[in-house]
Amino acid sequence: MNMKKTLLFILIIAIVSFAGYTAINGIEIKGKKITKIQDSIDLGLDLAGGVYVVLEAQTDLQGEELQKAMEQSKMIINQRVDGLGVSEPNIAIEGNKRIRIELAGVEEPQEAIEMIGKTAQLQFIDSKGNEVISGKNIKSSETVFYRTDFGEKPVVSLEFDKEGALAFKEATERAMKEPNDVDKIIYIVLDDEIISAPIVRNVISDGKAMIEGEFELEEANRLATLIRAGALPVDMVELQTSVIGPTLGLEALERSIKAGGIAILIIFLFMLIYYRIPGLVADIGLAIYILIVLYAMKFLGVKLTLPGIAGLILSIGMAVDANVLIFERIKEELRNGKSIRASIDHGFKRALTSVLDSNITTLIAGIVLYYFGIGPIKGFGVTLILGIIASMITSVFITKHLLKLTVDMTNTKNTKLYGA
């Protein structure tokens, strides 16, 4: 037995085992904590829980005008979603008139739904009912704290554009000339609802104003986001709404992991029993494959969804299929009387075309699903692409070199150990 080759083989197994343990349990080295994979990968809507909404535009616009309006609506909705603090939302235009929004991990789904589709028509109206300025004149909008005799309270600070600043200055000048306080009011109206009715105490000439009210901090933040995002260019109606609870999602995740673990264990045992030493090498290669995919998902920030898990399991099947093709070719070469090393070289060479053909066609399908798909379909495509690439790396390169290493390590001529 070649000791150097044996130590190298043991070292490879130790590295794979350590990486696997770290992926499952996490580890802390000199104060630096490496979290386990399950806690590092973001979960999609179907696993983390949340809400998805499909909005449909109610408009007669067509062609480029419709496309422009939908792109603008998407941008505004994206700004509103950013105000909710949702990480990595999925917002996409479906067809010509629909927008699909997926928000994973939202704690208040109904509030999110209402905020996404809200028209946010902001108007400043004087005591006579005349519009002074509208939401289009708002340059910026943010929540600040205003000091009063009773402490600090959240208010919405506004800054107008040049046109808005001039119009607001003139409106406050007119209001200051009124003898009664009731005639000095400038009403702030959001979607036909009066949200604030401040009395003008002095002329505002710097283009800045505040919306005061009995706001909680969250309410002020929400209002500031709506104003900042502006009004949707077309009316939108909710076509489809679904709320998924996190409990259901976590239960689905646990069952999927359990099912995947059982399937992988059965595959490992089958390969080991049927192919013996090549089966052991295939198991090591599959373990490396799984680690490559999981760490790639972690570092690329890929969201894991239920269809994504299905894509991973499918790609594991493709990896096993590649190994089966290769090992069957090796067995044929051994039956023809060739040496183990020669059989491995010729077996890989003969199987390479079939392996590449099957993997490349599946890879093309994954790319198409990712490019044209949305939501769960895109998630399936992403994990399928990662899985196929990792499958080709492990089955074509890693498995081949590990098999050659076992030959050098054992120096055996017993073909039964290699499945023949």
**Whether residue 371 sits in one domain with residue 276:** yes
**Helices 376-392 + 306-335 axis angle, to 10:** 30
User: Number of structural domains, the chain?
Assistant: 3
- Rg (Cα) of the chain, in Å, rounded? 31
Same domain, 112 and 124: no
**275 shares its domain with 379:** yes
* Same structural domain, 170 and 36: no
CATH code of residue 339: 1.20.1640.10
Instruction: Evaluate whether residue 199 is within a structural domain.
Output: yes
Residues 284 and 400 in one domain: yes
> Do 363 and 397 fall into the same domain?
yes
Determine, yes or no, domain membership for 236.
Answer: no
Could you tell me if residue 238 is inside a domain? no
Spatial CA neighbour of 99 closest among 375, 378, 380: 375
* Residue that is last in its domain, among 100, 116, 132: 116
Distance between CA atoms of residues 352 and 386, nearest Å = 20
- Is the pLDDT at 323 greater than 60? The verdict is yes
Residue 267 shares a structural domain with residue 355? yes
Own/partner pairs, 188-195, CB within 8 angstroms, 24+ separation? 188/122, 188/123, 188/124, 189/122, 189/123, 189/124, 189/125, 190/120, 190/121, 190/122, 190/223, 190/226, 190/227, 191/118, 191/119, 191/120, 191/121, 192/121, 195/223
Domain extent for 216: 120-231
Domain boundary among 116, 136, 160: 116
Sign of CA dihedral 382, 385, 388, 392: negative
Asked if pLDDT for residue 44 goes beyond 80, the answer is no
Q: What is the pTM of this model?
A: 0.64
Residue 60 lies in a domain: yes
Of 231, 259, 274, the domain-final residue: 231
Asked if residue 329 is part of any domain, the answer here is yes
Its sign, for the CA torsion 162, 163, 164, 169, is: positive
Digit-coded pLDDT (tens) for 158-202: 888 888 899 989 988 988 888 888 888 888 887 677 877 878 888
* Residue 76: half-sphere exposure toward Cβ, Cα within 13 Å: 25
In the predicted structure, residue 362 carries a pLDDT above the cut 80: yes
- pLDDT tens digits, one per residue of 21-41: 888 887 877 777 778 887 777
Q: Are residues 331 and 357 in the same domain?
A: yes
Q: What is the pLDDT of residue 229?
A: 65
Q: Largest Cα–Cα distance in the chain?
A: 111
Which has more confidence, 114 or 321?
321
Residue 286 lies in a domain: yes
Asked if 289 and 157 sit in the same domain, the reply is no
SS (H, E, C) 382-420: HHHHHHHHHHHHHHHHHHHHHHHHHHHHHCCCCHHHHCC
**Helix (H) / strand (E) containing 272:** helix 246-275
| Token reading at 285 | 């290669």
Q: Are both 217 and 348 inside the same structural domain?
A: no
**CATH assignment at residue 94:** 3.30.70.3400
Helix axes 306-335, 246-275, angle to 10 degrees: 0
| CB distance 70 to 62 below 8 Å | no
Whether residue 239 is contained in a domain is answered as no
Q: Is residue 275 part of a domain?
A: yes
Q: Check whether residue 104 and residue 144 sit in a common domain.
A: no
Say how many residues make up the chain: 420
Judge whether 105 and 303 are in contact, CB under 8 Å: no
Distance CA(250)–CA(255), nearest Å, equals: 9
Stretch 237-241: mean pLDDT, rounded?
Answer: 81
The residues pairing with 157 across neighbouring beta strands, listed in sequence order, are 142, 210
Tell how far CA 39 is from the center of its chain.
Answer: 15
**CATH code for the domain of 216:** 3.30.1360.200
Indicate whether 217 and 184 sit together in one domain: yes
Phi and psi angles of residue 100, each rounded to the nearest 5 degrees, phi first: -105, 130
Three-state SS for 241? strand
Q: Which residues contact 389 (CB under 8 A, 6 or more apart)?
A: 363
